[in-house]
Structure 1
Amino acid sequence: MLEREGFVTVKQAAKLLDVAPNTVRAWGAAGSISEYRHPVNNYRLYKRNELEELIRMVHQSVRATRNKKPR
């Protein structure tokens, strides 16, 4: 049900971001990524579209850094 609404679990978020699940938890606890809670079991959830936007921003930043000419 929650997947249809665009939510993913810690494990799915970690795979999408190519990091360890504990890294996802730490980023959520630090407020670096938005964390949501399952209404029944209180598990951590993340919005897929927010994670995909984070990936796009990182890729753009990397491209911009690579395209800078040395002074």
Structure 2
Amino acid sequence: MSVDERQAKPRFIDMLRVGEAADFLGVCKETLRNWDRSGKLVPKRNPVTGYRYYKQEDLERFFKKVVEERGDA
């Protein structure tokens, strides 16, 4: 594999998988999948496996927004 091919592939090293993201937010994995289907929290997808991956900062931003909407801030 050439350097160009490796650079063109998305990197998921610094991202959380569904279970890790669910633990981070304190919800179950199915809740994350539901949020994905409804468009509330859209993950990156691995083009080969189709697995969902989340950036921690996206999760933090989403959580903050939910808390603010609920008035729990």
**CA displacement, residues 11-40 of structure 1 (integer Å, 9 cap, x when unaligned):** 011001100000000001110001221122
TM-score if structure 1 supplies the norm length? 0.71
Query: How far apart in 1 are the matches of 2:27 and 2:49?
Result: 24
Deviation at 1:45, TM superposition (A): 1.5
Query: How far apart in 2 are the matches of 1:40 and 1:48?
Result: 22
Paired position in structure 1 for 2:26: 18
TM-score if structure 2 supplies the norm length? 0.69
Q: How many residues align?
A: 61
Let me know the Cα RMSD of the aligned residues.
1.6
Unaligned stretches of 5+ in structure 2?
A: 1-10
- The answer to whether 1:29 aligns with 2:41 is no
Unaligned stretches of 5+ in structure 1?
A: 64-71
SS of equivalent to 2:72 = helix
Deviation >6 Å, runs of 4+: none
Paired position in structure 1 for 2:72: 62
Query: How far apart in 1 are the matches of 2:34 and 2:47?
Result: 21
- % same residue: 31
Deviation at 1:57, TM superposition (A): 2.6
**Mean Cα deviation higher: 17-26 or 37-46:** 37-46
